[in-house]
């Protein structure tokens, strides 16, 4: 009986110990959940403060490991460039329409080069178009004729713009600090050194601002080079052809071009030939028709040669016989 009572007391003590352990574990769990909630609330508040501080100081150095902001496409700085070749029936009319489309879209013409040669006329236009209307203007220009070639390229400069803005803000602060120190200079040497430093910082700031304006211009206005060609203009495939047939065609074109140049030169000098050649030809013809005096041949001996000069051994000059004397008057008988 004593043993049974002792076993019962031990079982009751074990149950009490297990209940006490369960109560302690519940208290610890409740305490851990409360602490975790307070810890989560604390860092979140600190994070909001850091974000507010970061918003107040946008030009401060970024922490290592921070990623660049994920901007939407319409918020990114993108440079659009393109080139196209369009064959049109009338180059002059198509060029006027392309310029009108550009100005209507809010852009302007950067350059205009034209060459008129009937069916081989060409016009090369550099159009500056707002980036938002770039695709629309390109399609409208392509509808002016037959599109033979088109190349469009883009360049995302969003990170460069953000970095440039931060560098400009920092450089402006450096310039202001240099100006403040320059006003507090106490000696000539300090004044000279601060003036040199201020000039260097202002030059760096001007260079950064020039780059910023250049990027702003490229992102605000896109560029497209439009080549308008006439109906008889050779295609780019024909221009880059090789082989016997291509060489024969090239030689024939050179032959025709040479004759064209020769006829052009002949047409240029023909008036001068008529003006000077006709009088000179008439003068030569008159001189040739003028009679010449006859030459008296020397008398020849039996051998066909003149008499021999006994002194010199050569042919003696011909002797001139005196004229015959007139017969005297007869005396009367």
Question: What is the full per-residue pLDDT of the chain (333 aa) written as tens digits?
Answer: 434 444 545 555 556 655 555 565 554 454 444 444 443 434 333 334 333 333 334 444 444 444 455 555 557 888 889 999 999 988 889 999 999 999 999 999 998 898 876 667 889 999 999 988 999 999 999 999 999 999 999 888 889 999 999 999 999 999 999 999 888 888 888 889 999 999 999 999 999 999 999 999 888 899 999 999 988 776 655 555 566 777 787 788 888 888 888 889 888 888 888 888 778 888 888 888 777 666 555 555 545 455 554 544 555 555 555 555 555 545 444
Beta strands per DSSP E along 97-181:
108-115, 122-130, 146-156
DSSP for 207-246, written as a single string = HHHHHHHHHHHHHHEEEEEEEEE-TTPPPHHHHT--SHHH
**Residues shown for the chain:** 333
In this structure, how many other beta carbons lie within 10 angstroms of the beta carbon of residue 166? 15
Confidence (pLDDT) at 296: 57
Find tokens 């950064």 and name the residue.
Answer: 208
The upper half-sphere exposure of residue 201, i.e. CA atoms within 13 Å in the direction of its Cβ, equals 20
- 134 to each of 78, 105, 143, 204, 267, how far by Cα in Å? 12, 9, 15, 34, 50
Kindly report the pTM of this predicted structure.
0.46
Dihedral through CA 264, CA 270, CA 272, CA 275, nearest 10?
-160
Residue 299, token pair as written in the block: 């008398």
Confidence (pLDDT) at 177: 93
Residue 301, token pair as written in the block: 């001996």
Strand, coil or helix: what is 46?
helix
């Amino acid at each position: 009986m004593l043993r049974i009572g002792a076993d019962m007391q031990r079982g009751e003590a074990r149950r009490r110990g297990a209940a006490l352990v369960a109560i302690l574990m519940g208290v610890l769990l409740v305490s851990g959940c409360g602490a975790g909630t307070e810890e989560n609330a604390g860092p979140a508040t600190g994070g909001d403060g850091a974000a507010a501080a970061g918003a107040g100081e946008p030009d401060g150095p970024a922490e290592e490991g921070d990623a660049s902001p994920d901007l939407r496409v319409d918020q990114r700085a993108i440079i659009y460039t393109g080139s196209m070749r369009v064959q049109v029936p009338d180059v002059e009319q198509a060029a006027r329409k392309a310029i009108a489309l550009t100005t209507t879209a809010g852009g302007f013409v950067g350059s205009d080069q034209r060459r008129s040669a009937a069916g081989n006329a060409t016009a090369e236009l550099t159009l500056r178009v707002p980036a938002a209307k770039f695709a629309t203007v390109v399609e409208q220009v392509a509808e002016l004729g037959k599109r033979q070639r088109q190349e469009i390229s883009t360049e995302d400069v969003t990170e460069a713009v953000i970095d440039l803005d931060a560098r400009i803000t920092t450089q402006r602060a450096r310039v202001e600090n240099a100006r403040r120190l320059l006003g507090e200079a106490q000696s000539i040497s300090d004044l000279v050194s601060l003036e040199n430093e201020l000039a260097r910082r202002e030059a760096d700031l001007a260079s950064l601002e020039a780059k910023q304006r250049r990027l702003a211009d490229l992102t605000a206005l896109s560029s497209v080079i439009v080549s308008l060609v006439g109906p008889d203009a050779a295609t780019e495939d024909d221009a880059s052809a090789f082989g016997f047939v291509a060489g024969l065609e090239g030689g024939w074109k050179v032959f025709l071009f040479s004759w064209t140049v020769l006829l052009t030169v002949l047409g240029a000098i023909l008036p001068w030939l008529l003006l000077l050649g006709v009088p000179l030809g008439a003068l030569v013809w008159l001189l040739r028709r003028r009679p010449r005096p006859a030459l008296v041949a020397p008398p020849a001996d039996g051998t066909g040669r003149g008499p021999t000069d006994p002194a010199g051994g050569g042919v003696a000059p011909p002797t001139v016989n005196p004229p015959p004397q007139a017969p005297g008057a007869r005396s009367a008988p």
